[in-house]
Structure 1
Amino acid sequence: MIPLELIDTAELPDGGTLRLMRRGQDFSILFGRNELMSSRLRGSEEALATLAYDRLRGRAAPHMLVGGLGMGFTLRAALAVLPADAKIIVGELVPKIVEWARGPLAHLFGDGLDDPRVAIEIRDVYELIAGSRAAYDAILLDVDNGPDGLIHAANDRLYGKQGLRAAHAALRPGGVLAIWSAYPDKVFADRVARAGFMVDEVKVRATGGRKGAHHVIWVAIKV
């Protein structure tokens, strides 16, 4: 068996540690015993971008906010479909994630970080949302394991009434809020609807193929 190798660690602002691991050609990021992401599973992260873009198709110069850099799968999928006049802001709370993107994970990111459409903000994505009014055509959130604060307690505010109303205000008319989760949550979906969105819960394969575990993406349209 190929051994699991620790490549690096990253400390989280409110405690806890992320571990970047490698087994052969596969990379993963762990929080405790939880595997937050893996280079083997990219389908649902890519779908987060493509499902949102399907609702935006035809808009001129779309402005997208991506919460969480991860392993770059959402960013690369967005760059593949967005037009040349688009703008993508990526809010990433942990500086080490950006270092990994330019270091041991650079092969996953390709030239995505250097694309002129992309700007990286080392900030809590909540700040980028709460400080904006009608600024974005789409907000994509993949900052935790679901609509709660597993790895960063402050993420709870993104998914509560205040955070959802802030996202609603930060979107342009008809804008899209897309949220990734490892599991379904009807209570949360109802909360999104009450914040002024038309919500569609989409199940997607983690692998991007026909087999394997499902993840959930809520695609919510501002109404």
Structure 2
Amino acid sequence: MDDTTDEVTVVDRREGPYGEVVLRRRLVEGVERFEIIENGCFLMDTSDGRSERLLVLASLRALEGDRLSVLIGGLGVGFSLAEAAGEPRWADITVVERERAVIDWHRGGPLSHFSGNALDDPRVTVIVSDLVSHVREADVTYDALCLDIDNGPDWTVTASNDSLYSAAGLADCRARLAPGGVLAVWSAQPSEGFEDALRTAGFGQVRTIAVPVARGVPDVVHLGIRPA
């Protein structure tokens, strides 16, 4: 019988524009990890990070050339940003994060270890904004959009995020991409419906890469290419 009890501590709790955001520290058998909770919904933790890194790595592998630009939607615990900052082919790295608390936790806070202080990289620009609004309204294009703001297209954190995965939202994503650019979307579970939606929105080479996890269905990265 396993009688192990996790030790959980609230590191910070804030009321943001979209509700409550909490950073928790969990000690599991002497191993420390941090968790981000928004409005009572578990978003992510620092226990693994393979699929968050793959979000950026798979996008880069699908692109040719150097001096590339990437938009990372959602700073989270920093794994995706750290992956991007470690690759010199990314000349411009834009992070869109709507919660100032999350940014603070990386700027000298307990999550700076996981992002590797990448916020200090001169290639990195942080925009405090709602990702859905930025994708819809920004007058700029990127070579890759790496989006991780929900638990997946079928499991959004806030209702306002639903539109990102709609036909109109995917059209906005396509408009934000340079010809040949890559859209990568993280999900806690596969979504065949989202693959179909990507194809309907005009994306090619649609595929899903699975990353096995310790329990349950695998994390996945959905990929689609804007035709050149």
Q: Measure, in 2, the Cα distance between the counterparts of 1:45 and 1:27.
A: 15
Pick aligned residue for 1:217 from 212, 215, 221: 221
Quote the Cα distance in structure 2 between the aligned partners of 1:12 and 1:165: 29
* Larger RCO (CA under 8 A, 6+ residues apart): 1
- The one-letter code sitting in structure 1 at the alignment partner of 2:21 is L
Shift of 1:148: 4.4
Match of 1:35 among 33, 42, 64: 42
Note closer, same or farther for the CA distance 1:185–1:12 as it changes in structure 2 (3 Å cut).
farther
Aligned partners of 2:14 and 2:21 also within 8 Å: yes
Partner of 2:17, secondary structure, is coil
Q: Please say if residues 53 and 82 of structure 1, whose CA atoms lie closer than 8 Å, have aligned partners that are also in contact.
A: no
Residue 119 (str. 1) matches residue 122 (str. 2):
no
Distance change >3 Å, CA 61–CA 145, structure 1 → 2:
same
- Tell me how far 1:140 sits from its aligned partner: 0.6
In the TM superposition, what is the alpha-carbon distance from 1:213 to its structure 2 partner? 5.2
1:184 matched residue in structure 2:
190
Equivalent-residue separation in structure 2 for 1:62 and 1:37 (angstroms): 27
- Output the CA distance in 1 between the equivalents of 2:150 and 2:160: 11
Q: CA RMSD in A?
A: 2.0
Is there any run of 5+ residues in structure 2 with no aligned partner, and where? none
**SS of the residue 2:209 aligns to:** strand
Give 3-state SS (helix, strand or coil) of 2:62's partner: helix
Matched, 1:168 2:174: yes
Q: 1:9 matched to which residue of 2?
A: 13
Aligned to 1:53: 60
- Structure 1 residue aligned with 2:92, among 65, 87, 92? 87
Aligned residues: 217
The question of 1:100 aligning with 2:126 is answered: no
Return the TM-score normalized by structure 2.
Answer: 0.88
Residues 123, 148 of structure 1: alpha-carbon distance in 2 compared, 3 angstrom cutoff:
farther
Cα shift at 1:19:
1.8
Letter in 1 for 2:182: V
Flag the 1:170–1:121 CA change in 2: closer, same or farther, 3 A.
Answer: same
Runs of 4+ in 1 over 3 A off after TM superposition: 31-34
Question: Aligned partners of 1:151, 1:11: CA distance in 2, in Å?
Answer: 15
- Alpha-carbon offset, residue 154 of structure 1: 1.2
Residue 126 of structure 1 aligns to which amino acid in structure 2?
V
Q: Which amino acid aligns with 1:63?
A: S
Distance in 2 (alpha carbons) for counterparts of 1:181 and 1:12? 24
CA distance in 1, matches of 2:17, 2:69: 28
2:212 equivalent among 195, 205, 208 = 205
Cα deviation per residue 1:176-195 (whole Å; 9 max; x = unaligned)? 00000001111111011100
